[in-house]
Amino acid sequence: MQVTIVGSGYVGLVSGACLADVGNHVLCMDVDPDKIDNLKSGKIPIYEPGLEELITTNSSEGRLNFTTDLDEAVAFGEAIFIAVGTPPDEDGAADLQHVLAVARGIGDTLAEYRVIINKSTVPVGTAAKVRSEIQSRLDVRGVQVEFSVVSNPEFLKEGAAIEDFLKPDRIVIGTDDDQPRELMRELYAPFNRSHDRLLFMDLLSAELTKYAANAMLATKISFMNELANIAERVGADIETVRVGIGSDPRIGYHFIYPGCGYGGSCFPKDVQALARTAETTGYEPKLLNAVEAVNHAQKLSLVEKVISRFGEDLTGYHFAVWGLAFKPNTDDMRDAPSSVMIRELCGHGATICAFDPVAIDEARDLLADVQGVTFGSDPYNVIEGADALLLVTEWKAFRSPDLSRIHDGLRTPVVFDGRNVFDPEMVRKQGLDYYSIGRRPMLMD
């Protein structure tokens, strides 16, 4: 099949590369000429394990190509995916300007039947807006061309997106029209062999499913962080509580790890957008608002512990930070807890030296306006002379560190573990004061 992907960002590149890898001919389009030139020369704008190899292989074998020409892209694909960004606007609602601009562009050049597939995360009712924009342009042109609009939300986890696309839990297809069903079945057949993962539903339900999934996961995280804050205050250990509740199959162990808050391009944006959608109907989404409020506060949890230990005025104090990306196996810094913490600590007068395996360049750009932030190329180098170590992102490389080396490198032997990665007793045995999430501090006598 010939497939067009409009938008060559995270979702577009992963989708395009995976569809090409099973034999489709894919054309990825983007309005950014530098991005397209880089992709043509093999430079990938994002970090995602396995993506660079997938793009390189399929590009060299002629199944994956790139363009800035929307007319060419519309003419090329039997299926046209819209995979452009929907950033939050000032009130948290999803900004559809890029999605609707693509729809108008499609309407300006559409010449024969196409299936238009919304892959971007969009509010309920967006498919109708896309259809209206395309049809209005066809009317201006005075032509009659049939087309279908389908909702096909993505459920890709950053850091495991290739695996998620190739071996999906479910493939949600929203359509109020029978005509595109066969094309969608054919397109996803290679990913649907062991059992039928296709879930056909109406357009509005498909659009809501995406937001509902992310809001549910974000709710579990904020709920667990709320419990962690309670546990810490009553003297309980949230990690044993986690095991106690996770063993109940109705709850399970997924997404009940306490920490210093969630970030990324999905959970914060989607929870806010769903809340704004609810408000437009006159319904107050109390739980969704609470989920976001808990998460916002949780991003400051380590800062509060640092201030409790060292005082409000952190002038003259220097801290090491391990982990900058919002989660492991990505360089994504969008809404990352590390950014909030670093800004707050520097605002109190501290200086920071930070390390991350892949996100340093992104972090350097994001924090360019913050005085007192430097970056190191080695996790142990950033510790030298620091008053404490803050672990913010749970990269595998941080799970079994040389604790004696940490002790010897720090000026003050203190560790703040924002992901409960370290074993408290092992840390204490190395002569380090240890603060974590949802557990009492382990302090040296």
Burial environment of residue 14 by CB neighbours within 10 A (0 to 12, 13 to 18, 19 or more)? buried
Question: Residue 236 pLDDT more than 70?
Answer: yes
Average pLDDT over residues 119-140: 96
Question: pLDDT tens digits for 188-221?
Answer: 999 988 888 999 999 999 999 999 999 999 999 9
Distance between CA atoms of residues 152 and 200, nearest Å: 10
Check: CB of residue 94 under 8 Å from CB of residue 86.
yes
Q: Does the annotation count 266 as an active-site position?
A: yes
- Which helix H or strand E contains 430, and what residues bound it? none
Q: What's the confidence (pLDDT) of residue 445? A: 67
Q: What confidence category does residue 94 fall into, taking pLDDT thresholds of 50, 70 and 90? A: confident
Average pLDDT over residues 230-254: 97
Instruction: Give me the phi and psi of 26, to 5 degrees please.
Output: -120, 135
3-state DSSP percent of the chain in helix, strand and coil, to 5: 45, 15, 40
3-state secondary structure 299-330: CCHHHHHHHHHHCCCCCCCEEEEECCCCCCCC
Q: What mean pLDDT is reported for the chain?
A: 96
Check 28, 266, 346, 353 and give the catalytic one: 266
Q: What confidence category does residue 172 fall into, taking pLDDT thresholds of 50, 70 and 90? A: very high
Question: pLDDT tens digits for 34-86?
Answer: 999 999 999 999 999 999 999 999 999 999 999 999 999 999 999 999 999 99
Check: CB of residue 352 under 8 Å from CB of residue 383.
no
User: Which percentage of the chain shows pLDDT scores above 70?
Assistant: 100
Question: pLDDT tens digits for 296-353?
Answer: 999 999 999 999 999 999 999 999 999 999 999 999 999 999 999 999 999 999 999 9
Tally of residues, the chain: 445
